[in-house]
Amino acid sequence: MPAKYTLLPLSKDSGRSRNALGRSDATKRSAARLKIFALLITACLFYGAFRLGFAARLPPFFGEDIQCSGENQTIDGLPSHYTLPSGDKIPSVALGVWRAAKNEVGRAVKTALCNGYRHIDGAWIYRNEEEVGRALKESDIPREEVWITSKVTIHSIRQNPLAYKSIKLWNTFHAPDDIEPVLDESLRRLGTDYLDLYLIHWPVAMNDDGSYDKDLTEDPYPTWQKLEELVDKGKLRNIGVSNFNERRIKNLTANPLKYKPAVNQVELSFWLPQPELVQWSRENDILLEAYSPLGSSERVRDSLNVPEVKEIAAQTGLTAAQVLISWHVQRGTIVLPKSVTPSRVRENLHVVRLPDDAFEKLEQAATSHKPSRGSNPSKNWGLDFDIFD
């Protein structure tokens, strides 16, 4: 039998030469035909799927990829809502949209809404409110059935000249009257005339020159009063804070507030479980919202590989992400997992009460290592103090 490949002396382009010269023309031709045939079959399959109306099941570039399976998205044995002092009921699981990019966030929001989520956690500074608003509108779910949270961010606006330019009216925390134009901008982008919850994103008040205003940072009562006014005006239904520690909340609530902060949105994860803050907030009737509940994109892989998490996942038949999300709700907090991956968005709304021993084991594991914060912009913002001290 004639050999198909002939060994040639090695030269500079020996690999190419060997292939080009050693392979029979007939073999190359049949390989090329096979490739064209495979391409044609693939194209026909996609075209057929389109014609049959399966576009929604194809990858995003072929269609909208919104899958409403209606299966498994349940909250079993744990609260689906918490009641705030206003009497409003806030859903315990939200879709977080920080770092949800353009052309991804809308699809994520629609996937979430059609699979049962009724809570979207956003912020002006996430720069995706317009797409979130469009998705809310296109989902056709009545406005009053969806809980929308946004946040007022002073510092980030001042750090980013482009963002700053787009809302020239914004000055500093010194001028609480300027909050309303920023809120109006969020309302317009989200396509709504009220927010269910508006948070002071960071406990840092800045001056015009970029330095921080010590007095207002320590006691943001003037800002709070403005938020209270916006509640009375009907633009906000509930107000709260974010990234406040116990001391900062005490400073704020030492004032004669008309409305108490309804929630405090803080980092809570396996790496930073903050048991003292969880307990103090429970005792003081301030609902905590767990941000970066899976460890954020930097640590999500590590979180899902924690041995106790994997063990409980195997024991309960849940995924590792579902174990962590369930643990947060079982701790009595709201949880805000972010995902732009449709299958994960659906996965994350399957929340189940963990067996008591499993819950205790995870709580013990989370609280017995050195806590480690994922998000602390103090240095980046040039502050000479730590926001969390």
Ligand X SMILES: NC(=O)c1ccc[n+]([C@@H]2O[C@H](COP(=O)([O-])OP(=O)(O)OC[C@H]3O[C@@H](n4cnc5c(N)ncnc54)[C@H](OP(=O)(O)O)[C@@H]3O)[C@@H](O)[C@H]2O)c1
Catalytic pick among 82, 117, 126, 221: 126
353 burial class (0-12, 13-18, 19+ CB within 10 angstroms)?
middle
Give the nearer residue to ligand X in terms of CB position, either 84 or 294: 294
Q: Where are the beta strands (DSSP E) in the chain?
A: 75-76, 81-83, 89-91, 95-96, 119-121, 147-152, 197-200, 239-242, 263-267, 287-291, 334-335, 351-352
Half-sphere exposure (Cβ direction) of 179: Cα atoms closer than 13 Å? 27
Tokens linked to 36 = 């064209």
Interaction between residue 265 and ligand X (CB under 6 A): yes
Least separation, in Å, of the C-beta of 360 and ligand X?
23
Q: Is 126 a catalytic residue?
A: yes
CA separation for the pair 93, 186 (Å, rounded): 22
Interaction between residue 300 and ligand X (CB under 6 A): yes
Binding flag, residue 73, ligand X (CB under 6 A): no
Instruction: Please pick, from the candidates 116, 176, 240, 337, the single residue that binds ligand X as defined by CB under 6 A.
Output: 337
Which residues are paired to 212 by β-bridges? 206
- Stretch of 160-168, 176-184, 218-226, 331-339 lying at the interface with ligand X (CB under 6 A): 331-339
Residue from 75, 121, 221, 334 binding ligand X (CB under 6 A) = 121
Candidates 348, 350, 352, 387: give the one binding ligand X (CB under 6 A).
Answer: 348
374: phi then psi, degrees, rounded to nearest 5: -90, -30
Helix ranges restricted to H, 196-295: 214-218, 221-232, 246-253, 275-283
Task: Check residue 363 and report its DSSP letter.
Answer: H
**With CB under 6 A as the contact rule, which of the stretches 74-82, 182-190, 341-349, 358-366 interacts with ligand X?**
341-349
Residue from the set 341, 364, 372, 376 that interacts with ligand X by CB under 6 A: 341
**Per-residue tokens: 59:** 């990858």
- DSSP letter for 178, please: G
Question: Which residue has the closest beta carbon to ligand X?
Answer: 96
User: What are the residue ranges of helices labelled H in 167-286?
Assistant: 179-190, 214-218, 221-232, 246-253, 275-283
Strand pairing report for 287-291 and 334-335: parallel
Radius of gyration for the chain, computed over Cα atoms and rounded to the nearest angstrom: 26
Q: Is 97 in the site for ligand X (CB under 6 A)?
A: yes
Cβ pair 366, 303 in contact under 8 A: no
Inter-axis angle of helices 307-316 and 296-304, nearest 10: 60
Binding of ligand X by 96 (CB under 6 A): yes
139, 339, 349, 351: residue in contact with ligand X (rule CB under 6 A):
339
Can you read off the two tokens belonging to residue 293? 């509940």
Task: Give the nearest distance from C-beta 308 to ligand X in angstroms.
Answer: 17
83/341 with CB nearer ligand X: 341
Phi and psi for 179 in degrees, rounded to 5? -65, -40
Our finding on whether 296 is near ligand X (CB under 6 A) is yes
Per-residue mark of binding to ligand X, 220-259 (x: CB under 6 A) = ----------------------xx----------------
- Binding flag, residue 295, ligand X (CB under 6 A): yes
Shortest Cβ 312–ligand X spacing (Å): 15
Site string for ligand X, 140-169 (x = CB under 6 A): ------------------------------
- Stretches 76-84, 183-191, 249-257, 339-347: which one binds ligand X (CB under 6 A)? 339-347
Q: Which residues contact ligand X by CB under 6 A?
A: 96-99, 121, 201, 242-243, 265, 291-297, 300, 321, 336-341, 344, 347-348, 375
Catalytic residue numbers, as ranges: 126
